Amino acid sequence: MFDDFLLRALVGGLGVALVAGPFGSFVVWRRLAYFGDTLAHSALLGVALGFVLHVNLTVGIVVICQLLAILLFASQRQRQLASDTLLGIFAHGALSLGLVTLAFMDDVRIDLVGYLFGDILAIGSADLGWIFIGGGMALGGLLWLWKPLLAITIHEDLARVEGIAVDRINWLFLGLIALTVAVMMKVVGMLLVTSLLIIPAATARRFAVNPEIMALLSSLIGCGAVALGLYGSFQFDTPSGPSIVVGACLIFILAFLVPGPGSKKALSRN
């Protein structure tokens, strides 16, 4: 039963889940879910860019995600529009622009569903390379920024007074998230990327006593979701990306049946 494509899918999926754990934790802590969604929505524009410029599609996605991250960071300094309004404009604007651009290219036929919901079973060795090199870089970068990022997550001004270069670290962090999102695209698709970031992290919260354990647990839970989803997809012939997300949701629900250390403390406190 371990065909090549299935093994590649599993390895790629596990790799993505490992990277998604720590990033997802920060996304949850800093309430960046919508931000991740916006980056993912822009990916189709990246695909279109790849076709137009005849470059690797993943390169196109990475470039567009990075550009959008820069644009978002810069535009958050204005105070005219609330940031979720702004994100909504960028998310749907970028998605629609991507679809329209692709429609202009008569000779291009892409598997739109594959981009929207992921196609983990079609992962090739090149994709695996992207996942492990790109994802590894993102993870390495995050570890390097870990402590200052925690301080910024607690209180930006406090971090600034204590001498942390808040703006520069936020820039880098958004760039790393953009890279992660681009890498995750292949596995769960642009519409489901955020779910693989936040569901494992939300599940891990009840069992985590410190940020590091939460990040690690998120990775493990994500791996469980990938394994579960792949198995289900193979067994019942269901689409792989949504199956993984359903797997993550199942673990999330099941986790509520297990008493965690956090829940006991919360109860006794009340």
Partner 1 sequence: MSEPLIQLNQVNLELGGRVLLENVNFELGAGEILTIIGPNGAGKTTLLRVALGLQRPSSGQVKLQRGMTIGYMPQKLHIDPTFPLTVRRFLSLACQNQLEKVLPLLAEVGAGHVLESSLQTLSGGELQRVLLARALVREPNLLVLDEPVQGVDVHGQTELYQLIGRIRDLRGCAIMMVSHDLHLVMAATDRVLCLNRHICCSGTPESVKNDPAYVELFGRQAVEQLAVYVHDQNHQHDHCADCSRRSCNVR
Which residues in this chain contact partner 1 in the complex, by CB under 8 A? 28-31, 79, 147, 150-151, 153-155, 157-158, 160-162, 201-202, 205, 208-211, 213-214, 262, 265-266, 269
Q: Determine contact, residues 247/225, Cβ cutoff 8 Å.
A: yes
Please state the closest distance from residue 203 (CB atom) to partner 1, in A: 11
CB within 8 Å of 98: residues ≥ 6 apart = 42, 43, 44, 45, 46, 47, 48
Which residue number, 100 or 158, has a Cβ lying nearer to partner 1? 158
Tokens 């792949």, located at residue: 230
**Least Cβ distance, residue 185 to partner 1 (angstroms):** 25
Buried b (16+ CB within 10 A) or exposed e, 177-209: bbbbbbbbbbbbbbbbbbbbbbbbbbbbbbbbe
Task: Between 122 and 150, name the residue whose CB sits nearer to partner 1.
Answer: 150
Closest CA to 69 of 97, 48, 90, 50: 90
Residue 92 or 265: which CB sits closer to partner 1?
A: 265
Considering the complex, what minimum distance in angstroms separates the CB of residue 266 from partner 1? 8
Which H helix or E strand runs over 217?
A: helix 211-236
Q: How near is the Cβ of 116 to partner 1 at its closest, in Å?
A: 28
Q: Please, what sign has the CA dihedral across residues 155, 159, 160, 166?
A: negative
Pick 3 or 162: Cβ nearer partner 1: 162
Q: Which two tokens stand for residue 80?
A: 């005219």
Report the nearest approach of partner 1 to the CB of residue 210 (Å).
6
Closest CB to partner 1 among residues 26, 130: 26
